[in-house]
Amino acid sequence: MSDSLYKDACALVIIQMGEFANRFSDEFLEEYDGIEWGQLIGLRNVTAHNYENIIDDIIWEVMHDDVPEIKEYLEKILYH
């Protein structure tokens, strides 16, 4: 996370994921509850509106731990 361009790109991914999650219908969110959608949307808001105070470790943790899990979950929805 010492590379500011990489950090900015990671933050943008988080913001985009939250934006897309915020567009899902309530029915979709209820049916596919394997992701904490509210937390994802909340993280988007914090990242977008308070970016200068975001801790690098949080962005790294989300990208390293959470994004692969979210990707896998969404792929299961799409392909099964």
- For the chain, what are the domain ranges? 4-79
Q: What is the pLDDT of residues 61-75, one digit of tens each?
A: 999 999 999 999 999
- Angle formed by the axes of helices 37-49 and 4-23, nearest 10°: 130
* pTM score, whole prediction: 0.82
Candidates 63, 24, 28; CA nearest to 43 is: 63
Return the closest-CA partner of residue 71 out of 42, 40, 26, 43: 40
Helix (H) or strand (E) holding 41: helix 37-49
For residue 44, name the pLDDT band (cuts at 50, 70, 90).
very high
